[in-house]
Structure 1
Amino acid sequence: MLVMLKIKQLMMLVVWVACFINVVHPMQAPLNTVLYIALAVIIVMHSILVLLIGKAIKLTGKEKLSFFVFGSIAVNQKRQSLFPKK
């Protein structure tokens, strides 16, 4: 289970890196546009996620950053720590 979690986090980091590389050094036309749109959607969705969850529970700065970078992957981790299986 832990291996799958790390793989998911690594995949999300790859997406972030690809999007930011595209900002610094734009890629060819169709891929360029797709990565700009993906970056915008990721930033908006993860910002909303941090704002909504931040209103529901108290988050540290590290948790907010983790939620912003990893999105639902980090939320699922936090949920499992708050509500462990019996």
Structure 2
Amino acid sequence: MKKDGTPDKRYNASTKKNDASVTGQMKSAEGKAKANANKAAAKIKKEKPSNEKAPKKKDKATGMYKGKVVYTGPRGGEYYINSNGNKTYISD
């Protein structure tokens, strides 16, 4: 209905029925999607992760450089900790 009380010609009874059926279809599709999501979430919760990360190993102290302790990282890089607390790598 329009503001003045007359019927709106753009909106008729057949459209109203179609809207209801489309809305019903959308609701059922949403319900199915939620159910599938819930099943997937439950399956994920049941499974334990098999690819756990290995525990981190501390770097080895291997010597001295300019009065600082030199560490060797897991991939072979050598560095020391500077006065700011950052790693400073030693080039060969």
TM-score (norm 2): 0.32
Larger RCO: 1 or 2 (CA < 8 Å, sep 6+): 1
TM-score (norm 1): 0.34
Structure having the higher strand fraction is: 2
Structure having the higher helix fraction is: 1
Larger radius of gyration: 2
